[in-house]
Amino acid sequence: MSEAIASINPETDGHIEGAAWLLATGRVKTVVITHGIRPGCIRIVEENGEQHELRLNSKLPMLLNLGLRTDCLTERVALGMSNEAGERINWDTTIRELRNPAGTLALLLPATTDARINYVADLLRGRIQDAEERIAAYRATSNIPIDEFQHAHLPPSIRRHQRRFLYARGALVATFADGEAMGVHLSKRAQKLGLDCRDFNGLPEHWWAEKWTVIYGSSKAPRPYDEAGITADELQAIVRDNLARLLPQNQEAEEE
């Protein structure tokens, strides 16, 4: 982590989230809130004593100001400025929520400036960590094959909620065995086609079944796979057999 020190005037709009971002990203080790620097800029003193100032656009939120200055994909995704593929998107609620805290977040924010900066920095570190996971999952799922039934299987190294990347690539159905749970999940598009997991034959009866999923185990209560009744390979074969049976019927019904 950098040993740099940043100084921000408290009259600068967004100085708390700006200070928190500099700490969360490791750009500086310390932030000083002081009237000794003019509003609208950030002064950074590097480890070697070199100084430079960041002049801010007063028409933009602080986090957007800082986000526009970085090419780091993880940071841009954490701020909701880019998707996992690196494409720019309209900045989402991340910047808005931290600029104007409301609801539970507003209640949880500490009263003092220093404590509030540290609290927001922790929130941002969490978002950065989540962004790292999402980018890694996007890259890992980009090479997962989608079969002729529009089914794809998530490998154990990828958490099941990242199946959304498979759905974005055209998968209708995802199977998974991520170490916590084993099961099958239907995309919203699959559900609109009329597919229902409760219509799937061959899945163990002791699995939890709903319209959109059949699952064994959970993140809160992982179950040993030797009690699942089938293997991950058998799960995929069962799902493919059911899709071969159900998809033509549902697609024809939709066309009618």
- In this predicted model, what pLDDT tens digit does every residue of 138-150 receive, in sequence order? 999 999 999 999 9
Instruction: Report the distance separating Cα 117 and Cα 156, nearest Å.
Output: 37
User: Residue 127 above 60 pLDDT?
Assistant: yes
* Of 211, 209, 198, 206, residue with least CA distance to 228: 206
Q: How far apart are CA 43 and CA 54, in angstroms?
A: 6
90/112: higher pLDDT: 112
User: How far, in Å, CA of 192 to CA of 29, rounded?
Assistant: 51
The residue among 221 and 68 whose pLDDT is bigger is: 68
Structure token pair of residue 80: 């909701």
- Find out whether 19 and 117 touch, Cβ atoms under 8 Å: yes
Question: Could you tell me which of 185, 24, 195 has the C-alpha nearest to residue 120?
Answer: 24
Contact 141, 84 (CB under 8 A): no
Distance of CA 160 to the CA centre of its chain: 12
Judged against a pLDDT cut of 60, whether residue 121 lies above it is answered with yes
In this structure, which long-range contacts are made by residues 66-75, counting pairs with CB atoms below 8 Å and at least 24 apart in sequence? 66/18, 66/21, 66/22, 67/91, 67/95, 72/25, 73/135, 74/128, 74/131, 74/132, 74/135, 75/25, 75/128, 75/131
Give the Cβ contact number of residue 28 at 10 Å: 22
Half-sphere exposure of 198 (CA within 13 A, CB side): 4
Query: How many CB atoms lie under 10 A from the CB of residue 92?
Result: 11
Q: Give bridge partners of residue 33 from the DSSP assignment.
A: 8
Greatest mean pLDDT range, 55-64, 85-94, 245-254: 55-64
- Distance of alpha carbon 44 from alpha carbon 54, whole angstroms: 8
Quote the pLDDT of residue 134: 92
Question: Mean pLDDT throughout 226-251?
Answer: 87
> pLDDT tier at 253 (50, 70, 90 boundaries)?
very low
DSSP-derived secondary structure for 44-102: EE-TTS-EEEEEP-TTS-HHHHHHTT---HHHHHHTTSB-TTS-B----HHHHHHHS--
